[in-house]
């Protein structure tokens, strides 16, 4: 139902795969070079079917469980990533000497699987906006989840993403994907929407075992006292929220009002 609702809006064809995430991004030399080495999309890959009904290829001839490529996020993969308390996002600008960014993402309820090729997560207040800036420039992003307990596993989703801001007509439908977290106390800036192009898991044998105790409550305590105006003022005082470390456009300021829901 969500995808059907989103299709009414400009840009919603991204969810159905009919509109590339890089539509409208200038064909700079850096982008063209990146396109030349981009790995094949998931739908272009063929390999024997696994017992889960997915097409998957092992990258190791000795261990069929090490290094598989999947067509979609469902079943075991979906359960795994939805149950992790922490994941990481990696982005980079097109410039060869630009600053590569890697961010940890926590807070239960802030991640959602939209469909079997699309995921989304909430972008909360912080002192930088590198991910937003890089996605606005080139849309490239990789998300990674690691098993810190139970059987070892690492899942990566390589794809094309976009930040959906408060004044986007898709906002209210997308925010409904996150019923288990109070977004009003975290200074919500954007919803990051990612369309998967390559889905892989690897062994994770060297990832340490660690226990999850609880989410920190410091973020909510810090930003619960901010309204739209004071939050915009806070961001305006930061060097790398409105613009990235490398000078790319970051979070549009001042923030649009939070839509009434």
**How is 15-35 classified by DSSP, letter by letter?**
HHTSS-TTTT----HHHHHHH
Q: Which two tokens stand for residue 230?
A: 């004071």
Other Cβ atoms within 10 Å of 100 Cβ, number: 10
For the chain, what is the radius of gyration of the CA atoms?
A: 19
Q: Which two tokens stand for residue 203?
A: 């062994």
Other Cβ atoms within 10 Å of 127 Cβ, number: 11
Residues 205, 84: Cα–Cα separation, whole Å: 17
Secondary structure (3-state) at 157: strand
Secondary structure (3-state) at 123: strand
The DSSP call for residue 10 is T
- 186-221 residue pLDDT tens: 999 999 999 999 999 999 999 999 999 999 999 999
User: What is the pLDDT, as a whole number, of residue 122?
Assistant: 98
Closest CA to 139 of 158, 114, 112, 116: 158
Residues 6+ apart with CB under 8 A from 174: 2, 6, 120, 164, 191, 193
Q: Contact at 8 Å (CB) between 189 and 125? A: yes
Q: Which two tokens stand for residue 243?
A: 């613009």
Q: Which residues of the chain fall short of a pLDDT of 70?
A: 1-66, 261
Strands (DSSP E) contained in 46-85 are 68-70
How open is the CA angle 10-16-22, to the nearest 5 degrees?
Answer: 65
Residues 200, 56: Cα–Cα separation, whole Å: 9
User: What is the pLDDT, as a whole number, of residue 218?
Assistant: 96
Q: Which two tokens stand for residue 216?
A: 């920190």
Residues 255, 236: Cα–Cα separation, whole Å: 10
- Note the CATH number of domain 2-208+217-236: 2.30.110.10
């Amino acid at each position: 139902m969500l995808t059907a609702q989103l299709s009414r809006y400009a840009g919603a064809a991204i969810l159905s795969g009919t509109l590339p995430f890089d539509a409208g991004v200038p064909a700079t030399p850096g982008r063209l070079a990146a396109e030349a080495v981009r790995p094949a999309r998931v739908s272009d890959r063929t390999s024997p079917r696994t017992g889960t009904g997915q097409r998957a290829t092992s990258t190791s001839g000795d261990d069929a469980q090490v290094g598989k490529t999947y067509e979609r996020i469902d079943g075991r993969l979906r359960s795994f990533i939805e149950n992790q308390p922490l994941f990481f996002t990696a982005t980079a600008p097109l410039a060869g000497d630009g600053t590569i960014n890697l961010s940890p993402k926590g807070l239960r309820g802030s991640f959602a699987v939209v469909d079997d090729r699309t995921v989304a997560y909430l972008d909360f207040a912080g002192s930088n906006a590198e991910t937003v800036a890089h996605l606005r420039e080139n849309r490239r992003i990789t998300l990674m989840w690691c098993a810190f307990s139970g059987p070892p596993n690492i899942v990566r989703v390589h794809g094309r993403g976009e930040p959906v801001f408060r004044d986007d007509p898709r906002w209210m439908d997308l925010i409904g994907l996150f019923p288990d977290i109070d977004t009003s106390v975290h200074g919500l800036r954007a919803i990051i929407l990612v369309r998967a192009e390559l889905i892989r898991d690897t062994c994770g044998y060297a990832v340490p075992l660690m226990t999850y105790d609880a989410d920190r409550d410091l973020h909510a305590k810090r930003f619960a006292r901010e309204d739209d105006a004071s939050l915009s003022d806070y961001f305006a005082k930061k060097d790398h929220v409105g613009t990235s470390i490398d000078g790319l456009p970051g979070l549009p300021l001042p923030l649009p009002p939070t839509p009434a829901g």
